[in-house]
Amino acid sequence: MKRIIILLFVSVMAIGTTFAKDQSVAFIDMSYILKNLPQYEQANEQLAMLSKRWQKEIDAAQQEARVLATNYQTEQIFLSETMRAEREQEIVKKENEVLELKRKYFGQDGELYKKREALIKPIQDEIYNAIQDLASEKRIEVVKDRSADPSLIYMSSKLDISDQVLRKLGAK
């Protein structure tokens, strides 16, 4: 019985080793690739500028809401019931405008998301195509992103094809 188990174990190990040798694996470092692509840096700068501009707009609207609230607090005792209700509605309306601006620009499907998608997605597609071409040329079956794999402890530098991907993309 022991011999059968040992024989099974040895044959499984031999099959596994043969399979592993037949597979070709390479790694990339996506963060390294992106850092070395000028078009990615330009896209990030554009996104940062838009983000700052939209944030200034939101900050200005928030400041207007604060001023309305502060003025209301100081003038409240001098106002009639009708005027108080109008001012309160005005404050609520301005606060809702601020929330709407935040959602419009920075929400889940906001302008920043759409702009990021428009600027970054073509770059990612270009990288993916370069990786796919390179993998096809070198008969690589599996390409993993080492920057996204926290379980990766060690990798031989011979397996890293990041620079080759950059060259394929025309980056220096």
**This prediction's pTM:** 0.70
Q: Where are the domains of the chain?
A: 59-106, 124-172
* Contact yes or no for 161/26 (Cβ under 8 A): yes
d(CA 117, CA 101): 20
**Mean pLDDT score of the chain, rounded to an integer?**
87
Token pair for residue 81?
A: 């019931």
Q: What is the pLDDT of residue 3?
A: 57
**Other CB atoms closer than 10 Å to residue 78's CB: what's the count?**
8
Cα distance between the two ends of the chain: 61
Instruction: State mean pLDDT over 11-32.
Output: 67
* Contact yes or no for 148/28 (Cβ under 8 A): no
Instruction: State mean pLDDT over 26-42.
Output: 93
Token pair for residue 40?
A: 């990615």
Q: pLDDT tens digit string along 113-133?
A: 999 999 999 999 999 999 999
E strand segments, 30-118: none
Q: pLDDT tens digit string along 140-165?
A: 999 998 888 777 788 888 888 989 99
d(CA 85, CA 103): 27
CB-count burial class (<10 Å; 0-12, 13-18, 19+) for 97: middle
pLDDT-derived band at 18 (thresholds 50, 70, 90) equals very low
Helix (H) or strand (E) holding 28: strand 25-28
Q: What is the pLDDT of residue 11?
A: 52
Q: pLDDT tens digit string along 59-106?
A: 999 999 999 999 999 999 999 999 999 999 999 999 999 999 999 999
